[in-house]
Chain A
Amino acid sequence: RKEVEQDPGPFNVPEGATVAFNCTYSNSASQSFFWYRQDCRKEPKLLMSVYSSGNEDGRFTAQLNRASQYISLLIRDSKLSDSATYLCVVNDGTSYDKVIFGPGTSLSVIP
């Protein structure tokens, strides 16, 4: 089993749609969780950290379920500029520093 798994995608949605990404991780010792976005041929950029209580930033909502080892990202009212690959990132549980990237889910928002 891969350490971090994500929906295979790609997701093609119309502008204004709500889209949800799912991620599962295998290491129960993981303590830090993030969502990054990566545009084509660019570096990843932090979208948001994910906290146990769930957190929201504008149109983006992240949820964490430690018991199920599951993380989600919800994007409401999607914009063309949201088109990117969304990476679920989890620390490896043995080191504060090391993180593991999921394979990513590609999103295309269509006019």
Chain B
Amino acid sequence: GAVVSQHPSWVICKSGTSVKIECRSLDFQATTMFWYRQFPKQSLMLMATSNEGSKATYEQGVEKDKFLINHASLTLSTLTVTSAHPEDSSFYICSARGFRHRSYNEQFFGPGTRLTVL
């Protein structure tokens, strides 16, 4: 069964609005969560890494004021796309890493959120 959930699974919004995406680890405590973005026919690109209780580390070229990440608990991280524009339309995927079944190496991916900005 799923170990990481994302909500919503898809969202359509008007340009200029903000969208919040939630990522939850369901049966383990995720000390680290990652946010990726995937454009059509491209691979996943890491946007940021967040550790519970500390500020996220953003990859080069990712605007931290536009993509707000909060990792307030060991089971929840949120990504808020502020003032979304059509070029932000993409597939946003989170992943979580923590001790699960005594394994720390694997990242467990959420099902993704498809964002369309009109």
Interface residues of A (CB under 8 A from B): 32, 41-46, 49, 87, 95, 97-104
Contacts and interface: CB of A to CB of B under 8 A. Distances in A.
A98 B36 CA distance: 11
B49 interface: yes
Contacts of A97: 32, 34, 49, 97
B111 A101 contact: no
Interface of B: 32, 34, 36, 42-46, 49, 91, 93, 97, 105-107, 109-112, 114
Contacts of A99: 46, 107
Task: Please report whether the interface of chain B is mostly helix, strand, loop or mixed according to DSSP.
Answer: strand
A98 B46 contact: yes
A46 B112 contact: no
Given A32-B105, A43-B93, A46-B106, A100 B46 contact: yes
A9 B112 CA distance: 24
Nearest to A85: B43
Contact of B43 (A42, A49, A98, A102): A102
Given A43-B110, A44-B109, A101-B45, 12 more contacts: A41-B91, A46-B107, A97-B34, A97-B49, A97-B97, A98-B46, A98-B49, A99-B107, A100-B46, A101-B36, A102-B43, A103-B43
B49 A101 contact: no
